[in-house]
């Protein structure tokens, strides 16, 4: 596949945007497309930021933020939020590794997942509302959160054994390995986003360093959590890591900018 086709495949994988590919898609193509996950996050962030800015012109900020969060769920199909809820259901309700995996594959939402998802969405809403006292920082924060959280989650691939036993898992082709070229493009995307934010005076040099350390610690803690619970990770774990990273970025921005 061409690089443009791999980018479109990444968009198809992470969103509900109706894009068609004329070429047949292999597991290798899906794996290679992971290099553009952070780039897709930038696109999602830009759409959300523009929508929030437009809505804030005619609606109270709290309503504009709520509608923007809702629109992002429609745009992505709540792909990562579903994984986040499944992880809490599995880790909270299962005792053995197999029990946890079975619960995580169950399409039904349990108490642990419901409560965790509620806390997650409320936390995002209130953090974004707090950031809205500086609208420019909030709009940039959305782009940073959507892109860097996907970078952080994708960079977990290959750090632990992939333990999902379901051969039909949608994430399996991506989650089994991450080649050096994919990691390079992922990190270059993240560096570019952070650099532009710094040039636009959103973040100082020390805040950039602190943000990178925050993301590294978040990934390290997620890695330890998944290893302790499963001895590895699944596609749901990557979704949970993305959501946790996104939440940590918003928290960091509130602490450092407000």
User: pLDDT tens digit string along 200-210?
Assistant: 888 999 999 99
**pLDDT reading at 83 higher than 90:** yes
Write down the pLDDT at residue 30: 83
**pLDDT reading at 138 higher than 90:** yes
Asked whether the beta carbons of 29 and 3 are under 8 A apart, the reply is: no
**pLDDT reading at 167 higher than 60:** no
**pLDDT reading at 139 higher than 70:** yes
Joined tokens for residue 88? 């809490």
Q: Read off the pLDDT band of 175 (50, 70, 90).
A: low
Write down the pLDDT at residue 169: 61
Q: What does the chain come to in residues?
A: 258
**pTM for the structure as a whole:** 0.93
Which are the contacts of 167, defined by CB distance < 8 A and separation ≥ 6?
A: none
Write down the pLDDT at residue 29: 84
Q: Read off the pLDDT band of 166 (50, 70, 90).
A: low
Q: List, as own/partner pairs, every contact residues 4-8 make where C-beta atoms lie below 8 angstroms and the sequence separation is at least 24, other chains included.
A: 5/29, 6/32, 6/33, 6/35, 6/36, 7/33, 7/36, 7/39, 7/40
How many Å apart are CA 239 and CA 87, to the nearest integer? 9
């Amino acid at each position: 596949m061409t690089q443009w086709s791999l980018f479109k495949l990444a968009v198809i994988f992470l969103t509900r945007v109706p894009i068609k590919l004329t070429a047949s898609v292999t597991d290798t193509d899906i794996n290679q497309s992971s290099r553009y996950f952070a780039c897709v996050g930038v696109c999602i962030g830009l759409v959300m930021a523009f929508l929030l800015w437009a809505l804030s012109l005619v609606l109270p900020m709290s309503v504009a933020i709520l509608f923007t969060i809702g629109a992002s769920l429609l745009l992505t199909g709540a792909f990562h939020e579903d994984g986040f809820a499944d992880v809490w259901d599995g880790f909270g309700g299962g005792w053995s590794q197999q029990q946890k995996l079975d619960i995580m594959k169950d399409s039904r939402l349990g108490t642990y997942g419901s409560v965790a998802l509620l806390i997650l969405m409320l936390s995002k809403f209130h953090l974004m509302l707090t950031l809205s006292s500086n609208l420019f920082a909030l709009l940039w924060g959305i782009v940073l959160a959507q892109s860097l959280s996907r970078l952080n989650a994708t960079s977990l691939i290959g750090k632990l054994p992939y333990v999902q036993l379901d051969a039909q898992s949608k994430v399996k082709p991506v989650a089994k390995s991450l080649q050096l070229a994919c990691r390079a493009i992922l990190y270059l995307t993240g560096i570019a986003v952070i650099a532009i934010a710094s040039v636009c005076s959103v973040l100082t040099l020390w805040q950039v360093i602190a943000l990178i350390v925050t993301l590294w610690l978040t990934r390290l803690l997620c890695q330890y959590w998944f290893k302790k619970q499963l001895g590895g990770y699944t596609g749901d774990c990557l979704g949970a890591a993305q959501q946790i990273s996104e939440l940590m970025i918003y928290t960091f921005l509130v602490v450092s900018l407000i």
